[in-house]
């Protein structure tokens, strides 16, 4: 089945709209079943017209946060005329607040991202997650607040980015029988490490879809079920050595897994053994 297409439009970064849309999508489909395209910093109607045109061609859904009322009304009208499903995430809230507070909104995009200390910490964390993604630099495990560990296609990268937006520096480490785990991984506090487990059947389906998206034969060794069992057995051995908590992500959306991780790291005196029992 072809992936569903979703456009997220904003006259700022588009982070708020993307999070809301993803939260909604998680109620209907797995993350690998859709493609989400963010269109940030919109300043003119031509971009909006083009977005609606492409949405019409692909049967896409559009979610948007536009504080500029002219752009907002244009997009809504254009979507109605072209019969494209479109939802205004910010508009109804602004209008209700305007009536309640009896004040006009500032109509300035991105005010929530003013250059304050929190903003800079978030940007630093995002850059950290990119730099130390997928084990590309093993030194990241010693500098990270959280280290995510898992085989390929266990949502390590989107989880790293999600947690980075919460100002956590996250490194993620891929596990495979042919690749030695970074030595530093076994010398850092185990509570910094979190394993991401997935069922063989679920992983098999995800990898087949990934190969299909890339135009490759889904019978490749990457999606071979025996190969997957070997990888997961190796993963379990590494987790036993690390003695760290493990989360089963087989049927969890990224946001759900991230919330579990946040609840864990925010407990000042959590027990690894207790967390293992709970997970």
Treating both helix axes as pointing N-terminal to C-terminal, what angle do 117-131 and 156-164 enclose, rounded to 10 degrees? 160
Residue 153 annotated as binding?
yes
Residue 252 annotated as binding?
no
Residue 215 annotated as binding?
no
Residue 26 annotated as binding?
no
- Indicate the domain borders of the chain: 4-113, 117-278
Residue 213 annotated as binding?
no
Residue 106 annotated as binding?
no
Domains 4-113 and 117-278 share a fold: yes
Residue 195 annotated as binding?
no
8 Å CB contact between 169 and 125 = yes
Query: Does the predicted model carry a pTM greater than 0.85?
Result: no
For 4-113, the fitting CATH number among 3.30.70, 3.40.50, 1.10.3470, 2.60.40 is 3.40.50
Going residue by residue through the chain, which has 279 residues, state the pLDDT in tens, using 9 for 90 and above: 578 999 999 988 888 888 889 988 989 988 888 999 999 889 899 999 999 999 999 999 999 989 888 998 999 999 999 999 999 988 787 778 878 878 876 666 655 555 567 777 888 999 999 999 999 899 999 999 999 999 999 999 999 999 999 999 999 999 999 989 999 999 999 989 999 999 999 999 999 998 988 888 888 899 999 999 999 999 999 999 999 999 999 999 999 999 999 998 887 544 444 444 445
Evaluate whether the domain defined by 117-278 bears CATH number 3.40.50. Answer: yes
d(C-alpha 99, C-alpha 278), whole Å: 46
Residue 14 annotated as binding?
no
8 Å CB contact between 103 and 79 = no
Strand order through the sheet with 146-150:
170-174, 146-150, 193-197, 246-248
Radius of gyration of the chain (CA): 21
């Amino acid at each position: 089945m072809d992936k569903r297409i979703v456009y997220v439009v904003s006259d700022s970064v588009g982070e708020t709209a993307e999070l809301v849309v993803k939260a909604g999508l998680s109620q209907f489909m797995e993350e690998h079943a859709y493609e989400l395209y963010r269109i940030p910093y919109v300043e003119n109607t031509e971009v909006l017209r083009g977005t609606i045109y492409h949405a019409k061609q692909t049967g896409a859904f559009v979610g948007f946060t536009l504080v500029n009322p002219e752009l907002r009304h244009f997009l809504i009208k254009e979507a109605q005329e072209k019969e494209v499903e479109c939802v205004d995430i910010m508009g109804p809230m602004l209008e209700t607040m305007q009536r309640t507070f009896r004040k006009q909104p500032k109509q300035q995009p991105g005010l929530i991202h003013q250059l304050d200390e929190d903003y800079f910490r978030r940007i630093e964390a995002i850059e950290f997650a990119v730099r130390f993604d997928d084990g590309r630099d093993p030194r990241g495990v010693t500098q990270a607040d959280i280290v995510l560990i898992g085989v390929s296609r266990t949502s390590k990268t989107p989880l790293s980015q999600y947690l980075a937006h919460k100002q956590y520096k996250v490194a993620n480490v891929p596990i495979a029988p042919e690749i030695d785990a970074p030595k530093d991984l076994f010398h850092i506090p185990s509570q910094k490490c979190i394993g991401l487990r997935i069922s063989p059947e679920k992983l098999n389906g995800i990898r087949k879809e990934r190969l299909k998206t890339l135009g490759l034969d889904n019978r490749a060794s990457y999606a071979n079920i025996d190969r997957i069992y070997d990888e997961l057995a190796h993963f379990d051995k590494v987790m036993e050595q690390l003695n760290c908590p493990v989360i089963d992500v087989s049927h969890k959306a990224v946001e759900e897994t991230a919330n579990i991780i946040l609840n864990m790291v925010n407990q000042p005196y959590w027990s690894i053994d207790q967390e293992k029992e709970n997970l």
